[in-house]
Structure 1
Amino acid sequence: MRLTLTLAAALVAGSALLPQAVQAQERPPAYTNAEACLRDRAADAVAVSSGATDAAEFLLGYLCAETVGYAAAYEQNTASLMAMSDMASGMGQMAGQSGTKTGENPFDFSAMFGGLKVDPVTGALVSDPDAEGGFMNGTLKAQASQMSALFGDRPPVFLRVLAGELVLRQRR
């Protein structure tokens, strides 16, 4: 129970750091594909909706649901993997400090997640077939699934902002 709560707290804390981390690197296709869909379908959403909120929700939740879902998964799973990797690194440091008399770390936490990565298109957690499998891969995949169920597939903030701006432009 404590481990689950610790993992959940680490995942939530890690997701707060995600926007800066993502901005520092090249934008993944999961994001650019969702943005392209929103731009392409905004006029359709406005044409069939009664108001701006309805149009934005229709755009995000129906017309572009697949690509927006991939972007949400990318955001959540990147934050999860980063938080869990940081936690494993911290466990390794703690074990090293309380390890043997020479200060050696009797445990190797670096292999916990093996070649686990986030697919840049779908946002899914995938294992690199060429990497040695980490013993925590299944655990992290299950945890990501639980977090998705807990927090839902709420679109990332930047996509909600973009949908709102596009709807307003189309309504003018």
Structure 2
Amino acid sequence: MASYTRPVVFSVNEQLFGVDIELVQSIEKQLEVVSIPNATEYVDGIINLRGDVIPSYDLRKKFGFPQKSYGKNDETSSIVVSTKDTLLAFVVDAVHQIGDVDSENIVTMPELAKCEEADYLDRVANINGKLVILLDTDKLLTKEEVTRISQVKEKASNEAKE
């Protein structure tokens, strides 16, 4: 379980989320995403980040938010995080801060808000009076998604070598 004492806070559909900074590999502006036909539902493509092929994961789809077309002038960012299985690039609307959170300002997700399909919604932090939902990136992907993402990465790496 992540410590969350320093989450990277970002927004998707005007809602605040956070991931443990120890899992964040980089924060990138407007990366070019190469579409992958027949990719898993939440993967909108792959990116090339300093020679690594990384799946671009659509949090809007995962969370059931309305889709948004991102243009060249949009201020989107990608947060590259490590999960127990792979690196993922989360496309987010904006990265706001790296927050410092005292443990007494972090609570488990209320039982009423929990469901089995959203086990990745781990805890809630109060950062400067705003509620931030903290994500457990190790629970974000289903086993099927991990398998499909591995296949996509392998295929893309093989094509890059040709």
Which structure's CA Rg is the greater one?
Answer: 1
TM-score (norm 1): 0.28
- Structure whose residues are more often strand by fraction: 2
TM-score (norm 2): 0.29
- Structure whose residues are more often helix by fraction: 1
